[in-house]
Structure 1
């Protein structure tokens, strides 16, 4: 999915970039037809951009953002949601180690950026998994570790306590992607967290943290 700005975003002072795998891709689609709109209801307070890539793996993060930075101004707030697709292909520890390295690079590329880490969601189905229980444990441990790295770097974590695998109505039939109801909860959690920072921050890049 190419970088997509929300309607009216070009005149807004605070730039927000949501970047990640298919949940971000489908969240943009849902937001565009929701009561929030692709700008998540922020109007002129913020310019919301979406960079969602279906099937995205962690190794694709830096190239995707590098391409963005070649064409667009750096964001003031970067919302990251990726990594679950790597589970089962590599260890949680290796993902955390790469996250640590990449977060340092992102701060060099975008000085002063506020990073918000989206805590990995539960899945009803872990594709190609020998043990869904083992991957669920790895999900909790690795995502919490990355969240701690983000917080230590001055960022914050977006949690989704209301999106849980025991509620099948929140998921599509594949057990991975969110239904419209699940996507609405996902978007609502992100929108509220962003609103907290926009309310306590300001219009400029240096004041958003």
Structure 2
């Protein structure tokens, strides 16, 4: 019976025609494709793909996946300054754990105030056990909106609340940053005076149960350290801010 003929199809889904054997000898298992002696030998060259340079996406993945299961835990709780610093850390060489032997949990909330801070802390505490260190960066959004004397009392209340809720945790006050523009007042001098008083109150309270982290590089309010809104930090500003957090936490973690 003559062999069945197959008609060539241009369809990409067509089943390929079966190969017709021309020799009973088994194919040779070599690194080349061998044909009859009158045909040239074709070498099969295999090589590894060229390395792909890391992108922001791969850096973020690498920074999120860090083996710190047995390390002390740190909560960084505060306003959008903390949230923006976290976003910066995703693509920074420091990573989200700031190159520390610690598990850092960033909790930054836009518009956070001293009065709403306790509610946020209670919510976080329902999700996680008490950490080794808590850093508080909050109060800037209150300035110009709430009377200074009331803010000083609020700082004391936050300190008392944290001390009772986390008796074995080191509590750290992160110095409130200066601003080029303030939301609730154009009187920059008055706003900066209030900021300084809140910082002194925070440091006075927290130094007894933990410590404070300072940010002296922002004292002169160099414009390149801020975004155009005069409040949030630029890439350079966030890098300095994260470096300050890292340096401060290094000291506190030594005592854990």
Cα contact 2:206–2:212 (8 A) shared by 1: yes
* 1:172-197 deviation per Cα after TM superposition (whole angstroms, max 9, x unaligned): 00100000001100000110111122
Partner Cα distance (1:79, 1:95) in 2: 18
| TM-score, reference length from structure 1 | 0.88
* Matches of 2:91 and 2:108, distance apart in 1: 17
- Equivalent residue for 1:52, pick from 98, 101, 108: 108
Query: Number of aligned pairs?
Result: 194
Which structure has greater helix proportion?
A: 1
| Corresponding residue number in structure 1 for 2:66 | 8
**Is the contact between residue 116 and residue 150 of structure 1 (CA under 8 Å) also seen in structure 2?**
yes
Once residues 161 and 226 of structure 2 are traced to their aligned partners in structure 1, the CA distance between those partners, rounded to angstroms, is 34
Residue 128 of structure 1: how far off its partner (Å):
2.5
Instruction: Tell which has more relative contact order, 1 or 2 (C-alpha 8 A, sep 6+).
Output: 1
Answer yes or no: is the 8 Å Cα contact 1:6–1:49 preserved in 2.
no
Quote how far apart the aligned CAs of 1:10 are.
6.0
CA distance in 2, matches of 1:179, 1:83: 20
For the pair 1:194 / 2:252, whether they are aligned, the reply is no
- Cα deviation digits, residues 141-166 of structure 1 (max 9, x gap): 121111111113x2111111112343
Q: Equivalent of 1:40, from 90, 98, 101?
A: 98
Q: Secondary structure at the match of 1:90?
A: coil
**Kept in 1: contact 2:155–2:198 (CA 8 A):** no
Asked if the contact 2:78/2:109 (under 8 Å) is kept, the reply is yes
Provide closer, same or farther for how the CA distance between residues 95 and 12 of structure 1 changes in structure 2, counting only shifts above 3 A. Answer: farther
**Aligned counterparts of 1:125 and 1:54: Cα–Cα separation in 2:** 17
The 2-side partners of 1:11 and 1:85 are apart by 35
Partner-residue secondary structure (3-state), 2:168: coil
User: Is 2:177 aligned against 1:121?
Assistant: yes
Instruction: Tell me how large the CA RMSD over aligned residues is.
Output: 1.6
Point out where structure 1 has 5 or more consecutive residues left out of the alignment: 202-207
Q: Which runs of 4+ in 1 moved over 4 A?
A: none
